[in-house]
Structure 1
Amino acid sequence: MYFETTFHDAVEQETSLPGWRQEYRQVSTGGYDGRTAAILLPGVEILRETISVGTEQAFSAPEGSVIFYYYPKRDESELVRGEKALGVSGFALNWTNRIGFMDAGSDLLMLVLRRNAIAQEVRDNKAQLVEAPLVDSAYLADWLLSLLGAASQQSYPYAREDFDDVLADVITDRFELLFQKSVVCETPQIADAEKIYKKIRDRIFDAPDRPHTVRSLSRDLGVSAFDLRASCQSFSQIPLEKMLTLLRLNGARRDLLRARCAPRKVSDIAMDWGFFHWSRFALRYRSLFDETPSETLRGQNSPATRHHCACSAPHHECAQRGEYTGFE
């Protein structure tokens, strides 16, 4: 099965990958424009996701999956900070409860295989990062992209159900051949910064209405202010003070989206997230999301979301909203 879906809000796109647990938060300014395209086969999924703005992504891959990832644009985007040194491709075997940042204009291709579909030596590997040879990765990625391109033009040559298993087997074979040529890498040192960053964001979400400062976070978390700032900067490339505001603005946005179904005042939501100066909140909100809080609440500037709340509808329900193109 092939599907392609477009999004105008991070909250919508976070539900687009089948079997993934994700939360997306916008961390760079501008209107949101995202797209997910996928081919779903028995035990095998080809996924391509593009996002116009920078995002923070908290995610877990489907349980028991192994992932080949590749950046078609070959730019500086990266899913997990610190993996840039591995180039534009690699394998991920334990993507559970992770946090990463994607740059504006990100473009990510993933091949997701369930462990029961792949060889025992791959299933038994406990590594977190595996570096794939770039040339061989490019060949595999170009082929996967050609399959997605054919599917998007509805010239998908394997649309018949009896070919799905054959294609899944061929893809799995190529996946395993590339994995055998790859090199297991040590977990990057940036993992320590990720742990500290997780503590920061968890504290913000546990008490969103508190006026958090770097000093108060340092006392609460038992981490020096220097380490808090350094970890946030190295992991996210965003200063800690700015990140604290970005996280609270995204929290307010989620509540505004939910308020489309359960009406609440914008000012109450702002206060829930520690914004006690209305005009400053509105100004910061509009600067980040390219719309006012009231427009978010009314759904005026988000064609993909204006018809529903902070919807967690899976991709197959998008057909009811006129945003889905695909065929089986």
Structure 2
Amino acid sequence: MFFETTFHDATEQEASLPGWRQEYRQVSTGGYDGRTMAILLPGVEILRETISVGTEQMFSAPEGSMIFYYYPKRDRSELVRGEKATGVSGFALNWTNRIGFMDADSDLLMLVLRRDAVADEDRSRIAELVEPPLENAAFLADWLLSLLGGARQQSHPCAWGKFDGVLADVITDRFELLFQKSLVRQTPHIAQTEQIYRKIRDRIFDAPDMPHSVKSLSRDLGVSAFNLRASCQSFTQIPLDKILMMLRLNGARRDLLHARCSPRKVSEIAMDWGFFHWSRFALRYKSLFGETPSQTLKG
């Protein structure tokens, strides 16, 4: 089966990948424009996701799945910044409770094989991250993109019917061939910068109504202000002060979206997220999301 869906908010797109648990937050300015394309076969999924703005992504892949990922634009984006592990392609296993930052105009292709798609003896060889030869990875990616393009040209949702199983087997075979040519290596432990960023993030969401500052976070977390700033910049490529503002604005946006059928007011939600100067909140909100808080609330 083929489907293609467009989105105009991060909270909509985060639920678009079958079996994934995700939270997306917008971290660069502008109107949101996202798209997900997918071919779903027995035990095999081809997924392509594009997003116009920068996003912070917390994600967990379907349990036990094996993933081949590829960036068609070859822009050297990294799915998980803190590990220096990803180039434009690779394999992954056990993607659980991860954090990634995707640049604006990101384009990600993934081939997801579920638990029963590959034999146990082959699964036992795979580390969390595996590096395939780029030329071979590009060959597989181009074929997967051509399958998506062919399915997209259909005038109705595409299903191969009795050929679904055959195609899934062929895709799995090419996956295994590429993996056999790849370099298996153990993933380094989560970088200290990511650990510090997680602590910052958790503190914001544990007490969203508090007007957090770098100094207060430094005291609460027992980390120097210098290390907080340096770690955040290293992991996210975004200054800490800006990240603190963006996380709170995204939290307010989620609450505004959920409040569309309730009597809650913009001012109440702003205060819940530590914004006590409402006009300034509205200006910052519009700068990030391209619409006012009132427009979000009204839908």
Matched, 1:30 2:24: no
Structure 2 regions of 5+ residues with no counterpart? none
CA distance in structure 1 between the partners assigned to 2:79 and 2:31 by the alignment:
21
Match of 1:116 in 2: 116
Per-residue deviation, 1:292: 0.4
Contact 2:82 2:193 in 1 (8 A): no
1:323 aligns to what? none
In the alignment, the residues of structure 1 paired with residue 83 and residue 40 of structure 2 have an alpha-carbon distance, to the nearest angstrom, of 27
2 CA distance for matches of 1:191 and 1:115? 28
User: Do the aligned partners of residues 225 and 233 (structure 1) sit closer, same or farther apart at CA in structure 2, a change above 3 Å counting?
Assistant: same
Which amino acid in structure 2 is aligned with residue 80 of structure 1? V
CA deviations 1:235-264 (Å, max 9, x no partner) are 100011110000000000000000112231
Structure 1 residue aligned with 2:59:
59
Confirm whether residue 149 of structure 1 aligns to residue 149 of structure 2: yes
| In structure 2, C-alpha distance between the alignment counterparts of 1:84 and 1:72, rounded to whole Å | 19
Q: Distance in 2 between matches of 1:165 and 1:51?
A: 31
Counterpart of 2:140? 140
Secondary structure of the equivalent of 2:107?
A: strand
Contact 1:80 1:100 in 2 (8 A): yes
Give, in whole Å, the separation in 2 of the partners of 1:59 and 1:276.
Answer: 32
- Are 1:66 and 1:113, in contact at CA under 8 Å, matched by a contact in 2? yes
Matched residue SS, 1:32 = coil
In structure 2, give the amino acid aligned to 1:54. G
How far has the Cα of 1:217 moved from its partner?
A: 1.2
Report the RMSD for the aligned CA atoms in angstroms.
1.6
Alignment-derived partner of residue 282 in structure 1: 282
5+ long unaligned stretches in structure 1: 300-328
1:211–1:82 distance in 2 versus 1, CA, 3 Å: closer
Give CA-to-partner distance per residue, 1:138-163, whole Å, 9 cap, x none: 0000000000000000189x833210
Shift of 1:115: 2.2
Contact 2:52–2:105 under 8 Å retained in 1: yes
What secondary structure, in the 3-state scheme, does the structure 2 residue paired with 1:76 have? coil
- The aligned amino acid for 1:104 is A
Taking the TM superposition and a 5 Å limit, the aligned residue runs for 1:220-235 are 220-235=220-235
Q: How far apart in 2 are the matches of 1:160 and 1:105?
A: 31
Cα shift readout 1:42-62 (whole Å, capped 9, x = no counterpart):
100000000000000000000
Q: Output aligned runs, 1:155-170, within 5 Å.
A: 159-170=159-170
1:192 Cα deviation from its structure 2 partner: 2.2
> Alignment partner of 1:148: what SS?
helix
The match for 1:171 is: 171
State the 1:14 CA deviation: 0.2
The offset of 1:213, in angstroms, is: 1.2
- Which one scores higher on RCO, CA 8 angstroms, separation ≥ 6? 1
What TM-score results when the alignment is normalised by the length of structure 2? 0.96
Q: How does 1:1-328 map to 2 (within 5 A)?
A: 1-82=1-82, 86-125=86-125, 127-154=127-154, 159-188=159-188, 191-299=191-299
Whole-Å Cα distance in 2 between the matches of residues 121 and 193 of structure 1?
35
Distance 2:271 2:102 in 1: 29
Greater alpha carbon shift after TM alignment, 98-107 vs 225-234? 225-234
Deviation string for 1:278-325 (max 9, x for gaps)?
1110010000000000011111xxxxxxxxxxxxxxxxxxxxxxxxxx
Q: Secondary structure at the match of 1:74?
A: coil
The answer to whether the Cα contact below 8 Å between 2:77 and 2:87 also exists between their aligned partners in 1 is no
Letter in 2 for 1:226: F
SS of residue in 2 equivalent to 1:99: strand
Which residue is 1:320 aligned to?
Answer: none
TM-score when normalising by structure 1 = 0.87
Q: Secondary structure at the match of 2:74?
A: coil
| Equivalent-residue separation in structure 1 for 2:52 and 2:37 (angstroms) | 15
TM-superposed deviation, 1:28: 0.2
Letter in 1 for 2:245: T
Q: Percent identity?
A: 82
Letter in 2 for 1:37: M
Q: Residue 189 and residue 235 in structure 1: after superposition, are their counterparts in 2 closer, same or farther (change >3 A)?
A: farther
The answer to which of 68-77 and 99-108 deviates more is 68-77
Q: Is the 8 A contact 1:48 1:108 kept in 2?
A: yes
Q: How many residues align?
A: 298
Summarize deviations over 1:58-93 as a string: whole Å, max 9, x none.
000000101000000111322111466642000111
